[in-house]
């Protein structure tokens, strides 16, 4: 069964600290893996997208890694800011490109 699991479910960190969110998936074969940021009550916004041949992608303070062999991805946030408080969702696309499997997200709270 194709699944995407994220951990931790929730995380609280101090402003300025780094953190790493995890995504494990069983979707196979897969086309690409994306990380989204979703503010409360808003639609998800794309942070990074990686194909199966890429193993790292950065977007400012956000860096995503992908290990296609172990089917694991991580999202590293550097020097966190209060505005980073949001839910972070991992999405894996099936090889057809039109089937998407969503994780339940990690809720990040950054406190001053």
Partner 1 sequence: DGGITQSPKYLFRKEGQNVTLSCEQNLNHDAMYWYRQDPGQGLRLIYYSQIVNDFQKGDIAEGYSVSREKKESFPLTVTSAQKNPTAFYLCASSIPGQAYEQYFGPGTRLTVT
* Site for partner 1 contains 73 (CB under 8 A): no
Asked if 45 interacts with partner 1 (CB under 8 A), we say yes
Does position 66 interact with partner 1 (CB under 8 A)? The reply is no
Separation of alpha carbons 32 and 97, rounded Å: 8
Q: How far apart are CA 26 and CA 30, in angstroms?
A: 9
Binding status of residue 55 toward partner 1 by CB under 8 A: no
3-class DSSP state of 39: coil
Distance, C-alpha 25 to centroid of its chain: 11
Contacting residue, 1, 60, 69, 98, with partner 1 by CB under 8 A: 98
Identify the residue among 7, 28, 51, 58 touching partner 1 (CB under 8 A): 51
């Amino acid at each position: 069964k194709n699944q995407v699991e994220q951990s931790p479910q929730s995380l609280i960190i101090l402003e300025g600290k780094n953190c790493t969110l995890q995504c494990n998936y069983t979707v196979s074969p897969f086309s690409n893996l994306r990380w989204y940021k979703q503010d409360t009550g808003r639609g998800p916004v794309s942070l990074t997208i990686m194909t199966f041949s890429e193993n790292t992608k950065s977007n400012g303070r956000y860096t995503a890694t992908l290990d296609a062999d172990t089917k694991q991805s991580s999202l590293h946030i550097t020097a966190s800011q209060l505005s980073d408080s949001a839910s972070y969702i991992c999405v894996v696309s099936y090889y057809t490109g039109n089937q998407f499997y969503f994780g339940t997200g990690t809720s990040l709270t950054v406190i001053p």
